[in-house]
């Protein structure tokens, strides 16, 4: 069984792509979905080719979708992470990318978002 850290209240209001928050690598980013069917959006700028690994941690069932700068879906994931959490590992070229995260069941919930490159 995985151990999960306490998720503090988040301050972001990045509930649509136009307000996507910058994805911070190496941090446990707190996320709290306050209403049913709410999404949270993050953007990441890649300066060269890199593998981006993004995952959620917590006791929620999350879905994650990775988009290119034009809004085209590159990939999506439901349960590749631990305990019904989402995880995406994707080689990306230089450019801006967007990540949308939501609950599988459309409910509210708290989790942390973790990202790194290799």
C-alpha neighbours within 13 Å on the C-beta side of residue 2: 13
Question: What pLDDT sits at residue 8?
Answer: 55
The span from the CA of 5 to the CA of 7, in Å, is 6
Other CB atoms within a 10 A radius of the CB of residue 12 amount to 16
CA dihedral 68, 52, 57, 75 (to 10 degrees): 40
Structural domains of the chain ordered from first start: 17-117 (2.60.120.380)
Pairing of strands 21-22, 39-46: parallel
Q: How do residues 23-73 score in pLDDT, each as one tens digit?
A: 999 999 999 988 888 999 999 999 999 999 999 999 889 999 999 999 999
| Mean pLDDT across 81-105 | 95
Residue 33 and residue 102: Cα distance in Å, rounded?
8
Residue predicted with more confidence, 60 or 111:
111
Q: Give the tens place of pLDDT for each residue, 22-37.
A: 999 999 999 998 888 8
Q: How far apart are CA 111 and CA 118, in angstroms?
A: 23
In angstroms, rounded to a whole number, what is the distance separating the alpha carbons of residues 82 and 14?
25
């Amino acid at each position: 069984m995985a151990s999960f850290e306490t998720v503090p209240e988040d301050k972001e209001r990045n509930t649509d792509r136009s307000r996507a928050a910058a994805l911070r690598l190496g941090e446990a980013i707190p996320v709290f979905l306050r209403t049913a069917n709410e999404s949270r959006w993050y953007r990441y700028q890649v300066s060269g080719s890199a593998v981006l690994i993004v995952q959620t941690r917590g006791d929620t069932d999350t879905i994650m979708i990775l988009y290119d700068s034009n809004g085209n879906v590159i990939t999506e994931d439901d349960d590749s992470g631990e305990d019904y959490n989402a995880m995406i590992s994707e080689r990306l070229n230089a450019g801006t990318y967007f990540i949308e995260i939501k609950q599988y069941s459309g409910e509210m919930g708290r989790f942390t978002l973790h990202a790194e490159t290799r």
